[in-house]
Amino acid sequence: MDRNKRKTILVIDNVTEDIEAALAILQDFNVLSCTSQEDALEMVRNQQTDLILLDMLMTDRDRICSALKKNPDTQNIPVIFMTANTDEKSIKKIYDVDGADYITKPFKPRQLIARVKIQLRLQEVLSKLDFISTRDTLTGMLNRKRFFELGKSMFSRSGRELYVLMIDIDHLKKINDQYGHDVGDIVLKKVAHVIKEILPPDAIFGRMGGEEFSVMYTAQTHERSMDIVSEILKTVSQARIPLNNGGSISCTISIGIGRKFSEFNTLDSLLKEADMTLYEAKESGRNTSIFRDR
């Protein structure tokens, strides 16, 4: 499949002739179009959008740009403005509203395609750099820094439905000593991916360091949260981790659980609660979870 066909471009213009001209030139891309602010924002919410072409004379131009920048899910979508005015004052307005680039009307096909491809390639590079800077290099899960960045935001907007798990792989040191650190790394990756598959879509999951992971998620009921924890414990303990000699090993984990009760008014205090219950889980024999109700 042509890589361009996987890229979605949204053209926003209240002049249908200009939309049709853009569509004719950008045939190698998946192109959507609309003529109003409401339709534009609705499309961006419901459709993965890689780039936006926005007419500079749209009356809702500034509101569209503002709405895009305020939403974490859309704030990094590059916007190329379409304009017939190339004087210095007009171009300054484009960059004042964080435009990534501009294209002149009437369109020059090669120029339009070139500018679109440049922005799409730039977004790919930025996306890769963001992934590298926010992920744990071994497991691919969030690193500690990114976990706290996202966790603070989730904490501030959530109530008692918020849960934090502190997870520790039981006796990883023994596995490293017996089988080697290469196998220990495989165990870390396997456990991380098993847990990831069980978590709800809104969960934040990161490696805190060593054999310790942390999870934040919301659950409509306490029973649902405990079901998630039970499923994690069960699935990890049943997973088989292959060895180079053809054999396999298994491992277990311990989980400490914290819930956002009123006494926990910061993310650090909630994490401390989960850390304390993790310690209790490990002291009680491991391969279990501990939750202290209030």
Complete edge-to-edge strand list for the sheet that includes strand 253-259: 204-209, 212-218, 162-169, 253-259, 289-291
Please, what is the end-to-end C-alpha distance for the chain in angstroms?
55
The b-or-e profile of 136-154 (16+ CB within 10 A means b, else e) is: beebebbbeebbbebbeeb
- Alpha helix ranges (H) inside 47-180: 61-70, 88-96, 109-134, 144-157, 172-179
DSSP conformation letters of 220-273 = SSHHHHHHHHHHHHHHHHH--EE-TTS-EE---EEEEEEE--TT--SHHHHHHH
Selecting among 124, 211, 212, 280, the annotated active-site residue is 211
Report the distance separating Cα 71 and Cα 85, nearest Å.
29
Dihedral sign for Cα 203, 208, 213, 219, please.
negative
Radius of gyration of the chain (CA): 25
- Which structure tokens are listed for 266? 């910061």
211 catalytic per annotation: yes
Residues 6+ apart with CB under 8 A from 23: 11, 31, 33
Residues β-bridged to residue 41: none
Active site residues: 211
